[in-house]
Structure 1
């Protein structure tokens, strides 16, 4: 699979830009702040409906514009598709596939798959658990686009359950009435639906947990192999899932019961604090290097190698499952020493499509020779 044409309108720094793309390696070269990363960020957004740089869509819309449009022609085998996303901050985004407007944004998931390396990847190892949960969930969705719906359902249930718990906590602090005007429900009445929300949360949570655990099982040997490629003799690496709902269940039904039991055990604390304390949103992925956690013990170079190994493992997994992703290397080589730079480049040079950004052309290893664009002040010119 590869992108054959990228078109942007009012996206980041670009009022409008058209970029034809070929299979193989394409490098975007230009000084910092000229818009290189904006191009590959747009490709990544098509794959995940999110940016690897910011948490909301508002910064993606060019200053002074109301909306941004990302449009891409994509080829897989002998099949071509045109996908379009319209970003409307504060409103619902819109999507089109082959010019049909009767699709939801998440319906485009799976048409473009990407694996993206970026300086921000260091947070996979050094950052908070949310970074690692996002890594798992985006890869799960890349493998099975239907999981976007499961994740959305889980987030919706979690939000509504937290609203109920917060209301109950306030009511308890104000004598059962939350200090609201007459007609406000009592805490007891509010909590009468909590059992139902527990079941919804456990059902969608069990599906998400099962997918995460399956992913870790297949990713583990690939990550260990990738780390050995990047830092020979420096491993082994181990991925351990830390579940906030204790128990050893692995299948969906067992995980459902495990979550329900955990929710029942912490209900009193949840009502007191007004927040859901167990579930996939509270879990973590422990990354071990040798016998120790990488976070807090690994050197800076080891953390970089670990983060790169996770991305390489993701790339190898998606390739093995039959739909090769677009590989994006966003300003990565400048962050690496010469040894890691060459080993990473050698590992990905044969990818169907590799998009590279660099401030200096010499930062791109020779093994990644291919098309090159000069990016300067909103202009993207093939050289």
Structure 2
């Protein structure tokens, strides 16, 4: 899979730009603030309908305009499709394939797959649990786009349930009885969609774990593939052994229902849903054995944290490749953060991908193994040479 042509209208800093791309390595070189990252961000946006840099669409639309368009010709198995998304902050985005409108923009998700390496990846290790949940969900949706709907449904039910919990705290008499009956309905919906999301995350972590060990060994000095591990800590399964098999759907539903019942008083007192996938954690640990393992956050050195973050991205790439697709790799200003040895290691690991897109401030930041086509980006102009 690769992008053969990228067109932007009023996206970020670009009123309009067209870039012809090829398989292999392409580097966008330019000083900070010139727009090189905007180009690769647009391709990544087509993949996930979200940015790896900001939380909302509004900053993606050029100042003074109210709409942006990202269009790309994507080649997969020798066939080309033109994917397009129209960003409308405050209104529904619209998407098209070969100029034919899609019923919902999210149906575009997963048609092009990207894996992004960026300096912000350190947040996967050092940030709060929400960063790691987001990492899992984005990878999950790339593997199976239908989970975008599952995640949206879960967020909707969770919001409604939290609103009801807040009213229950002060409810009395018949009003309380009615609210509790309504809560039971929302409980059932939360369990249904939440169990589906939880089961998918548990299976994803089980699939990803072997690739992480291999990737960490490749990027960390003196490491073995048993050093880096991940485990999923589910609030509805507080006593689960991370090495155990993933429970089936009925077991997850039963555990979810029981935990909601057990914590109901606490939830009403706090006006907040305290159990479910939105409270779970992806645990990251380092160490040579089970007795010597420590959380990466708070204990790992800066270099170990960087290697773990890179390992998570490489593992994602390898897992997606194992599914049958070669994702587009985006290395966004990542080499400036690495020493010479790690630059060479990472470059050697990704050089064989079908398409690698690199951004760098200066040509010297691009490793020799990734010297391919170069575009210079300056003052809103993208020129090949």
> 2:339 & 2:228 partners in 1: Cα distance?
21
- Select the residue among 208, 215, 228 that pairs with 1:237: 228
> 1:6 & 1:266 partners in 2: Cα distance?
51
Matches within 5 A, 1:245-264: 245=236, 246-248=238-240, 250-264=247-261
Q: Deviations over 1:11-51 (max 9, x none)?
A: 11111111111000000000000011111111111111111
Which shifted more, 256-265 or 343-352?
256-265
Contact in 1 for aligned 2:94/2:102 (Cα 8 Å) = no
SS of residue in 1 equivalent to 2:198: helix
> 1:78 & 1:23 partners in 2: Cα distance?
12
State whether structure 2 residue 313 is matched by structure 1 residue 301: no
> 1:340 & 1:251 partners in 2: Cα distance?
41
State the shift of 1:146 in Å: 0.9
Question: Once superposed, which parts of structure 1, at least 4 consecutive aligned residues long, lie more than 6 Å away?
Answer: none
**Which residue is 2:160 aligned to?**
160
> 2:159 & 2:181 partners in 1: Cα distance?
17
* Structure 1: gaps of 5 or more residues: 178-184
State the shift of 1:163 in Å: 1.4
State the shift of 1:247 in Å: 4.6
SS of residue in 2 equivalent to 1:228: helix
State the shift of 1:232 in Å: 3.7
* TM norm structure 2: 0.94
* TM norm structure 1: 0.95
Contact in 2 for aligned 1:115/1:325 (Cα 8 Å) = yes
Aligned length: 372
* Structure 2: gaps of 5 or more residues: 241-245, 288-292
- Give the superposed CA RMSD: 1.3
> 1:98 & 1:199 partners in 2: Cα distance?
40
Matches within 5 A, 1:167-186: 167-169=167-169, 171-172=170-171, 176=172, 186=175
State whether structure 2 residue 13 is matched by structure 1 residue 13: yes
SS of residue in 2 equivalent to 1:26: strand
Which shifted more, 147-156 or 277-286?
147-156
State whether structure 2 residue 51 is matched by structure 1 residue 51: yes
> 1:284 & 1:67 partners in 2: Cα distance?
36
**Which residue is 1:193 aligned to?**
182
